[in-house]
Amino acid sequence: SLKRRLRSLAKSSLHERSLAGKSEPLSLSLRCLFDLALVQSFLNQGSKNSDVILDAAVCHDVFVYEDLPYHMFRTNKDSMQKRALKLLSNSDFLSVRMATLGIKRGTEVHLRDFSTANRCSYICTRKKARPSINESLPILHLLSDFLRQQLLVNQTSAGQAKGQPSTFDISEALKSTTHALQEHSH
């Protein structure tokens, strides 16, 4: 079903590209089509009104928390990239992402998604077609606030509860986030 849909999207896109005389490399178009088909097939599994899947009790798929925003950015569609920005700026999504992936991996993935959002914003700003780079900064601020809160919880609890991230892991994640914030806030 996904294979058929992807093939159909590729055919229609190639036809549209030839009519429009687009010079974009075919490999880029096929990659974007793959990402779009992947994201749409996943989002279509949920509620039609649901913009994001945030409930870990309902969604056990690690793909959502690790890779969905990344693929949303790679679709090259404005509406999908704006949804990805909204998703990454959502505190509920971040909390479930961290609970699902852990502090270390969750931070790495969130920083990767921030970089992807930044690249998309930079490229699109040059085309004057999409949001500016400043729209991706709240992603880092949210991550920084979340990690500071986790650090406070760890420091105020009598001891590290089983399954809780270590103070060291949280500190390292916060250090990486602070570095990214300093790098992109100038």
- Could you report the per-residue pLDDT of 39-89, keeping only the tens digit for each? 777 666 655 445 445 544 445 567 778 888 888 888 878 888 888 888 899
CB distance 181 to 144 below 8 Å: yes
In degrees and rounded to multiples of 5, residue 22 shows phi and psi of -70, 145
Q: Check residues 119 and 11 and name the one with the higher pLDDT.
A: 119
CB atoms within 10 A of CB 50: 11
Per-residue confidence (pLDDT) for residue 11, from 0 to 100: 54
First vs last C-alpha separation in the chain: 47
Q: Which two tokens stand for residue 17?
A: 């590209």
**Cβ contacts of residue 110 below 8 Å, gap of 6+?**
88, 94, 97, 139, 143
